[in-house]
Structure 1
Amino acid sequence: MKLLNTTTKNNVLQSMMNIIEDKRQDIIKANKKDLDAFNRDDQALYDRLVVDDKKVDGMIQAIKEVKDQDDPVGNVISDTTLDSGLKIVNKTDPFGTILIIYESRPDVTIEAAVLAFKANNKILLKGGKEAVNSNVILEECWHKALEENGLSKDWIKLMHINREETQEFLRNPSEKLDLIVPRGGERLIDFVKTHATCAVLISGRGNNFLYVSEHADWDKTKKVLINAKTDKISGCNALDKVLINENLPNFEARVVELANTLGSHQVEILTDAKVSALLKDLPKVENEEVWYEEFLALKIVLSSVSDFDEAVEKINKYSGKHSSIIMTEDTDEAAQFMEQIDSAAVYQNASSRFTDGGQMGVGAELAISTDKLHHRGPLGLKQLVTNKYYVFGDGHVRV
C-alpha cells in the first residue's frame, strides 16, 4: 500500500470539512428519508440515526480534531543497534484495509473513515439499511474530497450490499482484509469471529455495572448513577445494573429513596435479592439472562450484595466488560476494585458516560474495544496502526 504524506492526508480532510459544510442541508434531508422510513419502536436505535445541525457540526469537529493530530504512521517505537552491527528499528505501520460493520449511526461513516484514512488505511464501511440514504450522501462527500486531491475513491468505500451478501463477503472476501471491527450484537460478533480470515477487533456491548460500597458518599452516588443511566440511553456506556452493599448505612431507606429518584426520571426498575423485599410493588428479575442484557432503554436492575467480593464476582460474570463503576470514599477499596474488575474502563466515583474517545482525550474513535489484543478502550487515531521491524545489515548472516 502506498504511504501518503501527512500534507496530502490533511488536505483531503480539509476538503471533506468544506464539502460537509456545503452539503449540510442535503445531508440532513437525506437523513430525514431514513428517519421517515424507520419504525420508532426502537428508540435507542432511532436516536443514533438522527442527523441534525448539531450532529453535522460534530462530524466537522471530529474531522478537524483528527486533522490536527500528529500522523500516527512511521513513528519510531524503538531503535537498537546490536553488538553485531545489525540495526533494528521498530516503527508504526498501517493495518492495510479495515472493514467496519455498524448499525444506524451515520456519524460512524465520518469518524471511522477519517481515522482509518489519516492512519493510511483503506476502509470498507458496512452500515445498516436503516441509514442507507445518510450513508450514501456521506460516501459521495468522501469521494469528492479524495478526487479533489487526486486520490482514488477506493480509499473509502461504502459497501452497497445486503445482510446475506455481507455474510458471503466475510466467508469469501473479494479483496484482502487486514482488520474487521464488528459493532453490533452478539450474533454479528460471533459470525464475524467464526468466518473472518483476518484479525477481528471486538467492539462489545455495554451492560455496565455500578457497585455502591458501604463506604460510598450517598449524594455522589445518586448524582453519578442518574447521569450514567439517563444522560443517553442509546450509548454503549450507559448504566444497566446497580449492586448495593447491604452494609451501606441506612440501606433500606436509601434503596427506597433511589427507587423514587429513578422513578421520577421515568426509569423502569427490576429488583433482585434484598432490594425486592423493600420494593415489593416493582417487578423482579425473572431469569439469569436479564443479567447479561444490555438494555439501551430507561430500564435498570437494582440488586444487593453482601460484600465486595460478591460484587466483583457478579460484575466479572455478567458485564459486557465495557465500563464498571465503584462508588466509594475508600481509595484502597477503589484500587482493589479497579484492579480486579475485567472491563475496558473502570471508574471510582464517576459516570460511565465518560467512556468515549472525545471525553477521554483520544479524540474521534472507531469504536470502544472490549478486546485485549491489540488495544482495549476507545480506538482512536494512534490505535489504528500496527508495527513493523526495519532491519538494516551489511551482509549479516546468522551463525
Structure 2
Amino acid sequence: MKLLNTDTKNNVLKSMLQILDNERENIIAANKKDLDAFNKEDQALFDRLIVNNKKVNEMIEAVKAVLNQEDPVGKELSNLTLKNQLNVVNTTAPFGTILIIYESRPDVTIEASVLAFKANNKILLKGGKEALNSNLILEKCWHKALEYNGLSKDWIKLLHLKRDETQAFLKNPTEQLDLIVPRGGERLINFVKTHATCAVLVSGRGNNFLYVSEQADWSKAVGVIINAKTDKISGCNALDKVLINKNIPEYELKLEMLQQKLEQHKVTVMSDNKVNKILNSTKKITEANVWNEEFLARKLLIGEVSDLDEAIKMINTHSGKHSAAIITENNNEALQFMNQVDSAAVYHNASTRFTDGGQMGVGAELAISTDKLHHRGPLGLKQLVTNKYYVFGDGQVRV
C-alpha cells in the first residue's frame, strides 16, 4: 500500500467519528443479534461481546485519541554521515499488512483498524463467528469512511474464513502478510504459531500472579487483590493466582479474612495443600497444571510460599508473562521482584488491571504483547511501525 500523508489519514478518522455516531443504533442492533445467538455459559466471552452505548462511546474515543496522536511514520531515528560521505538515515516505516485474529470483542475491529491505518498499515481482521454481525457493520463503517475520502476499501478488510480455511491461509497466504497478531486464548495462539509462515507477535494470555510479602500492608494487599480479581474477570490483566508469604503476622487469621472477602465478591477460592489445611472449606487443587491456567472466571487460587525467591520462581515457571505484582512496604524487595520476574508489566503495590494501553498512557492498543521482539506490553500507535535505512551516496563503492 502507498504511503499516505497525515492529513489524508486524519480525514478518514474524522469521517469515522461521525459515521460511528450516526450508525450507533444500527451497531447496537447488529450486536444484539450476536448476543441472542450466543451460548452464555462462557461468561467472560459473553462480556467481551457486548456493545452498548457506552461501548460505542469508547470506540469513538479510541478513534479520537489516535486522530490526535502524532503520525508515527517517517520519524528519523538516527542520521549519520560516514567517513566515505555516505549519509545513512534510519527512519520509522510501516510493517505493510497486519493480520489480527481475535475472539469476540467487536471493539477490536475499531481499535486495531484505527491504529494500523494511522501507522499506514493495511489490516486484515479475522474476528470470531460469535461477533459476525457486529463486525460486519463496523467494517461497513470503515469502508464508508475510506471511500468518502477517495481511498480503497482494501486498507481495512474483514476475512470470512472457517477454521480450516484460516489454517490454509496462514500456511499459504493469498496476499502478502508481514505480521500476524493472535489476540485470544492459548488455543488460538498455539494454532497461529503452528500454522503461520510469517512473523507472529503474541498477545499472550494472562494467568497473572500477585505475591504478598511478609512486609506487606495487609489492608492494601486485600484491596489490590479484590480489584485485580473482580474489576473485570474477562480482562487478560485480571488476577488468577495469589502467593502469600507464610511468615506474615497472624497468617492464618489473614488467610481466613481474605477468603471471606473474596467470597463476599462471589469469587470461588481454590488453594494448594498448605493453604487448604487452614482454609479447608476451599477447593484443594489436585493437579499441578492448574497453576498454568488463565481462569477468566470468578475463581482465584491461593498458595503458600516461604520467601521472595520461591515466589519469583513460581511466577516465572507458571505465569503467562503478562502482569505480576508484589505487595510490600520494602522498596528494595519490590525492586528485586520487579527486576527478576519475567513479565511484560510488573507492579509494586498496585492492581494488574492497569496493564492496558489507555491506563498506561499509550492510548488505544492493538493488543498486549508478551513477546520480547519487537515490543513488549501494550501495542499502541508508536509500536505499529518498523524501521528502514535510507542510504544516500554519490558513487561510493566498497573497497
Bin for the TM-score computed over the shorter chain: over 0.9
Please name the residue that 1:118 is paired with: 118
- Superimposed CA distance per residue, residues 290-339 of structure 1 (whole angstroms, 9 cap, x where no aligned partner): 10000001000011101111100000000000000000010000000000
Please name the residue that 1:193 is paired with: 193
Please name the residue that 2:39 is paired with: 39
- Superimposed CA distance per residue, residues 137-166 of structure 1 (whole angstroms, 9 cap, x where no aligned partner): 000000000000000000000001212211
RMSD: 0.7
Structure 1: runs of 5 or more not aligned:
none
- Superimposed CA distance per residue, residues 353-392 of structure 1 (whole angstroms, 9 cap, x where no aligned partner): 0000000000000000000000000000000000000001
The letter of the residue matching 2:186 is E
Deviation at 1:191, TM superposition (A): 2.5
Cα contact 2:12–2:149 (8 A) shared by 1:
yes
Deviation at 1:282, TM superposition (A): 1.4
1:138-217 to 2 correspondences below 5 Å: 138-217=138-217
Deviation at 1:171, TM superposition (A): 1.2
How many percent identity over aligned positions? 71
- Superimposed CA distance per residue, residues 200-257 of structure 1 (whole angstroms, 9 cap, x where no aligned partner): 1000000000000011001110110000000000000000000000111111110010
TM-score (norm 2): 0.99
d(CA) in 1 for partners of 2:371, 2:91: 23
d(CA) in 2 for partners of 1:383, 1:118: 12
Deviation at 1:185, TM superposition (A): 2.4
- Superimposed CA distance per residue, residues 239-294 of structure 1 (whole angstroms, 9 cap, x where no aligned partner): 00000001111111100100000011110011114211111121101201110000
d(CA) in 2 for partners of 1:67, 1:372: 28
1:259-278 to 2 correspondences below 5 Å: 259-278=259-278
1:379-394 to 2 correspondences below 5 Å: 379-394=379-394
- Superimposed CA distance per residue, residues 86-107 of structure 1 (whole angstroms, 9 cap, x where no aligned partner): 1100000000000000000000
Cα contact 2:273–2:285 (8 A) shared by 1:
no
3-state SS in 1 of match to 2:73: coil
Count of residues paired in the alignment: 399
Deviation at 1:195, TM superposition (A): 2.2
Please name the residue that 1:253 is paired with: 253
d(CA) in 2 for partners of 1:187, 1:35: 23
- Superimposed CA distance per residue, residues 49-106 of structure 1 (whole angstroms, 9 cap, x where no aligned partner): 0000000000000000000000000000001111111110000000000000000000
Q: Is residue 2:70 matched to residue 1:62?
A: no
Please name the residue that 1:224 is paired with: 224
d(CA) in 2 for partners of 1:334, 1:137: 47
Please name the residue that 1:327 is paired with: 327
d(CA) in 1 for partners of 2:261, 2:189: 36
Cα contact 2:243–2:302 (8 A) shared by 1:
yes
Please name the residue that 1:108 is paired with: 108
Q: Is residue 2:365 matched to residue 1:362?
A: no
Deviation at 1:184, TM superposition (A): 2.0
d(CA) in 2 for partners of 1:113, 1:254: 47
Please name the residue that 2:236 is paired with: 236
- Superimposed CA distance per residue, residues 101-133 of structure 1 (whole angstroms, 9 cap, x where no aligned partner): 000000000000000000000000000000000
Misfit runs of 4+, over 3 Å: none
d(CA) in 1 for partners of 2:73, 2:118: 9
3-state SS in 2 of match to 1:389: strand
d(CA) in 2 for partners of 1:261, 1:195: 44
Please name the residue that 2:288 is paired with: 288
d(CA) in 2 for partners of 1:279, 1:186: 31
d(CA) in 2 for partners of 1:191, 1:230: 29
d(CA) in 2 for partners of 1:240, 1:372: 23
| Higher mean displacement: 161-170 or 312-321 | 161-170
Structure 2: runs of 5 or more not aligned:
none
Cα contact 2:182–2:201 (8 A) shared by 1:
yes
Please name the residue that 1:94 is paired with: 94
d(CA) in 1 for partners of 2:61, 2:167: 34
3-state SS in 2 of match to 1:336: helix
